[in-house]
Structure 1
Amino acid sequence: MPVLGPGTRRTPRALLTALLAALSLTLPLATAQAATATAPSRGSAHMGMGVLAHDGRHSAPTSTAVTQTEGVDVAGYQGNVAWSALWSSGVRWAYTKATEGTYYTNPYFAQQYNGSYNVGMIRGAYHFATPDTTSGATQAGYFVDHGGGWSKDGKTLPGALDIEWNPYGAECYGKSASAMVGWIADFLNTYKARTGRDAVIYTASSWWSDCTGNYGGFAANNPLWIARYASDPGTLPAGWGYYTMWQYTSSGPTVGDHDTFNGALDRVQALANG
């Protein structure tokens, strides 16, 4: 505000005008600073990050007539994982975040990926997709080159594409439904060409509906890993009549993210073997 000379008086209207002018300058700055403070850093995304923010947290899963096999998924923010404790609790399979975009690799990948294998688990790797940074083919190649490959050793699951809410910006990464479907197809086709396996798709039904128009064309080949923190997995995305895996909580024992495989251990092994 300008400094008034001695003896100068301001009318109430003039004071109000000056105050509003000052607020108009400071509010945008404060808003920008708040947004910067709350935005996560690139590379910090992980499975279920958007589920908590958009779908919330609900009750524990109910029992099912189909035998389920317990699993976990982990990422760099969880550091060194106590795999022996998880094995003792009944966990038999695990997925580890390997990459994000084409700018991040998990610094704990070796301990997490090899550690689960060494205690006897069937393990796999996943990629957190950022469709607004590079093409699906480019990200699939980066994933395969940095831990996302596959080998028929009976203990390695096909890679998983984690495609969900954008933690860094617009929900659908600025893409139309058709463009998003094209990006996903680009990733899946490249991954299969590089590894010989169809990748698993991890997603949430509400995001899939919003950002792909509930596209059903991947269901014939790509196993579904559904994310929903509730007593049941809910309505599945179009095309899939059943889920292969279900992430049902982010607050489980030892590590937060726990999952069930829709079948007994021999079915987990069958997916590993292709």
Structure 2
Amino acid sequence: ASQRHREGAARFASLVARSELIGAAEEATFRKQRGYAVNITWSSINFKTILKWQPKPSVTWRETSDTRKKCIMTTETECDVTDALRNVKETYTAHILSVKSLVEDNFEEPLFASSEKFTPYNQTIIGKPEIQHYTQEDSKLNVVFRDPLTPYMFSNGSFQSVRDIFKHDLEYKLYYWKDQSSGKKDATTKSHMFDISVDNKNNYCFYVQGIIPSRRENRNGQESMVLCTTIERTILDGMYLVKSVVLPSAFQQKDTSILNVFYNSIKCDT
């Protein structure tokens, strides 16, 4: 027993000595060669959060006062941690554990690597708003849209929207411009609708974007699809008519050139 104790102590001393010989300049290379997780990143849209890394270890995650495990013994290089981040205002750190094969004679400590801190409320990206309906009548452009949904549910089983979580911190901007023109204008709302004054002799193109003004970073969300109005003029009285468009859910994410096939011109009986 005494002999085994001395051998174990000698082996431990050797490992410590080897560790101390590694300088700062060699640390990154050493960590990669030894199998530490590298390139650890958070990817989060509408609070659906994926942790990604290289190469292929397992992962635990930690918040201020708790530690839990996710994706144990995974062979993938990413982990969906959405359900573990329900407290969206908490700050989280992921700790990636590289696990060696059980057949290896391994006396070294586990290989841990940590991610940067991540706060879902401050860092998740706002996804694309869904344009539901728009009209251009006389000198008014009206646009109705819907908030992006999150993976989180209410007790009744319906999904929470980003507005349900951000509340008054969330607003939307409408960017609009005359068709064939590059000069953009914008309007802001905290509701689900824009109603703005435009020139009734021109078609307008537009898109909607969610914004969190209180943020220092990631203030602007993803842009909705770009849509354009169409106005027509009768020969007899010069009257301008405008299409009112309700987007079918099956086509809301299609290209506008495809959408236009389904929108027949509105004619005026004279």
Instruction: Report the TM range for the smaller structure's normalisation.
Output: under 0.3
TM-score, normalised to structure 1, is 0.21
More strand by share: 2
TM-score, normalised to structure 2, is 0.21
Q: Which has the higher contact order (CA 8 A, sep 6+)?
A: 1
More helix by share: 1
| Structure with bigger gyration radius | 2
